[in-house]
Structure 1
Amino acid sequence: MLPYEISVAEVAQMRASQTPFVLLDVREPWEIETAHIAGSKDIPMNDIPARANNELDPDAHIVVLCHHGARSLSVTAWLRREGYDNVQSVAGGIEQWSREIDNSVPRY
């Protein structure tokens, strides 16, 4: 099984090499309007239980993103309990992404 967390550098490398994965952004709509990574699937954390089975593939590699990494870690743990084995949380969230990978993504 994959580690619970993945670094922003590893996510950037997967994007660059076109490794297939789903970038699941679990922040609120206002946060996504403020700062966003292109190509993400946006489902607010509170909507995950109602929407996961219809919108997420349990066999896919899912990388969960939030602001700093706390919500994404919670969603990762929940999804794994629900049988999604290939789920990881982005350590440091979009804040870390902006600091290390793409400073054009606004920090808030």
Structure 2
Amino acid sequence: MDEITVQSLKEKIDAEQKNFLLLDVREPFEQYQSKIDIENAILIPVGELPNRIDELEEHKANEIVCLCRSGARSAQACELLQGKGFENVKNLKGGINKWAREIDDSLPVY
């Protein structure tokens, strides 16, 4: 499975790249306390992903960056998406906590 570092994701965001989707697979309460606030982001908890995969069909040709708290659930999401034919899927290495530690220290680590 491909991974992307928090630094590389930050570069994409700073360059205002729109050709990727940030897929947050945490629970809503987790996103409420800590999130990367960009326009091209969507929240689908990993447990709901198998039943909501059709919501991502329009993004199938784009890069999809999956994120969770630390990288484990997002790795599961990447595997599920790849199994459904999504080819350009990347796991955010270290998740939102690594983002909070290295990119945006205003976000809590939990």
TM bin (shorter chain): over 0.9
What is the CA RMSD across the aligned residues, in angstroms? 1.2
* Aligned 8 A contact 1:66 1:72 in 2: yes
Indicate whether 1:10 and 2:12 are aligned: no
1:54: how far off?
2.6
CA distance in 2, matches of 1:99, 1:12: 13
Is residue 76–residue 87 contact of structure 1 (8 Å, CA) maintained in 2?
yes
How many pairs align?
A: 106
The whole-number CA distance in structure 2 between the counterparts of 1:38 and 1:11 is 13
TM-score (norm 1): 0.92
CA distance in 2, matches of 1:69, 1:45: 12
Distance 2:61 2:107 in 1: 30
**After TM superposition, what 4+ stretches of structure 1 lie above 3 angstroms from structure 2?**
none
Matched, 1:100 2:102: yes
Query: Match for residue 88 of structure 2?
Result: 86
Structure 1 residue ranges without an equivalent (≥5): none
Q: State percent identity of aligned pairs.
A: 38
* Cα shift at 1:34: 1.2
Amino acid at match of 1:44: P
TM-superposed CA distance for 1:18, in Å, is 1.4
| Residue 19 of structure 1: aligned partner | 17
Give yes or no for contact 1:4–1:73 (8 Å, CA) kept in 2.
no
Answer yes or no: is 1:28 the counterpart of 2:27: yes
Tell me the TM-score normalised to structure 2 length: 0.91
What SS does the aligned partner of 1:46 have? Answer: coil
